């Protein structure tokens, strides 16, 4: 069991894994983007991972309640903002980590489109989208965002891909469109792949990114899961 899951009992397995992927003191500012309950940001705040945690959610009631709960922490160690993550303005000259977790892949892409060009030079992104990871990976590799670490977990019957990314200076490294975490002997990975293949099989005769996803996952199946076929 990770040390972080003992220290932060409110964190789910998914949030604990995200916390485990963050190096303490590597960033001056960490953004808990689309924070909702803000449990991840609060764990960062209470464990002094960074100089400042900025919580952002678009729903005023959420940020109002969160501000009340966080009042026990020193006011210069955090901010709570009510706005869209597409509108944040990370301060230059500081090293930032922006966490985007628990949202759909399309929203992650929309936010990254706004932020990565303008701020990518001094921001890393920690991503855990609830769907459309193929499309998200494709966006990352076409926009010079390199996955430096990735992970996979299952929780409550759902599957999650987690990725730490950084902006490349030389954006020519070819990233895998399906990810590098796959283990042919892991039954959760096999079940997740089955689910993805089932979903994308509906698109296989089209000329779209979805049909490309189907053939890439099929290739993965024949390469990594050949013993299960
Ligand atoms: C399911 S919660 C995810 C909470 C947390 N990040 C997690 O991983 O458990 C998604 C949150 O995203 C917020 N949200 C949706 N669109 C947003 C946007 N464009 N900018 C900021 N927050 C947004 C919603 O209000 C909601 O609270």
Instruction: Give the start-to-end residue ranges of the domains of the chain.
Output: 3-167, 187-228
The reported pLDDT for the residue numbered 214 is: 97
Architecture of the domain whose range is 3-167: 3-Layer(aba) Sandwich (3.40)
Q: Tell me the pLDDT band of 169, cut-offs 50, 70 and 90.
A: low
Distances (CA, A) of 205 to 8, 136, 208, 209, 213: 47, 21, 9, 11, 12
Q: Tell me the pLDDT band of 8, cut-offs 50, 70 and 90.
A: confident
Q: Which atom of ligand 1 is nearest to the CA of 12?
A: 9
Closest residue by CA, ligand 1 atom 19: 84
Pocket of ligand 1 (CB under 6 A): 34-36, 56-59, 62, 84-86, 101-103, 107
Tens-place pLDDT, residues 59-89? 999 999 999 999 999 999 999 999 999 999 9
The reported pLDDT for the residue numbered 7 is: 81
Average pLDDT, the chain: 94
pTM of the predicted protein model: 0.94
Q: Best substitution site from 53, 58, 115 to test ligand 1's pocket, by max atoms within 8 Å of Cβ?
A: 58
Contacts 24+ apart (CB under 8 A), 106-109: 106/132, 106/135, 107/34, 108/136, 109/135, 109/136, 109/139
Three-state SS at 202:
coil
The Å distance, Cα 108 to ligand 1 centre, comes to 10
Tens-place pLDDT, residues 21-61? 999 999 999 999 999 999 999 999 999 999 999 999 999 99
The Å distance, Cα 57 to ligand 1 centre, comes to 6
Give the closest residue to 56 by CA, choosing from 76, 30, 82: 82
Q: Residue 171 pLDDT more than 80?
A: no
């Amino acid at each position: 069991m990770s040390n972080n899951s003992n220290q932060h009992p409110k964190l789910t397995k998914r949030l604990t894994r995200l916390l485990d992927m963050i190096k303490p003191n590597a960033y001056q500012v960490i953004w808990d983007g689309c924070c909702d309950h803000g449990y991840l940001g609060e764990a960062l705040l209470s464990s002094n991972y960074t100089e400042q945690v900025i919580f952002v959610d678009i729903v005023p009631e959420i940020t109002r309640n969160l501000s009340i709960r966080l009042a026990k922490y020193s006011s210069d160690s955090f901010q709570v903002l009510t706005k869209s993550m597409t509108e944040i303005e990370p301060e230059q000259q500081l090293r930032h980590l922006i966490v985007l977790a628990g949202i759909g892949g399309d929203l992650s892409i929309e936010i990254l489109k706004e932020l990565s060009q303008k701020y990518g030079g001094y921001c890393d992104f920690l991503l855990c989208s609830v769907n459309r990871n193929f499309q998200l990976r494709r966006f990352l590799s076409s926009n010079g965002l390199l996955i430096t670490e990735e992970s996979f977990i299952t929780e409550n019957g759902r599957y999650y891909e987690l990725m730490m990314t950084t902006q490349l200076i030389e954006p020519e490294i070819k990233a895998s469109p399906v990810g590098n975490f796959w283990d042919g002997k892991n039954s959760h990975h096999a079940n997740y792949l089955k689910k993805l293949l089932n979903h994308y099989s509906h698109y296989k005769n089209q000329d779209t990114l979805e049909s490309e996803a189907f053939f890439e996952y099929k290739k993965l199946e024949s390469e990594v899961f050949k013993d299960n076929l």
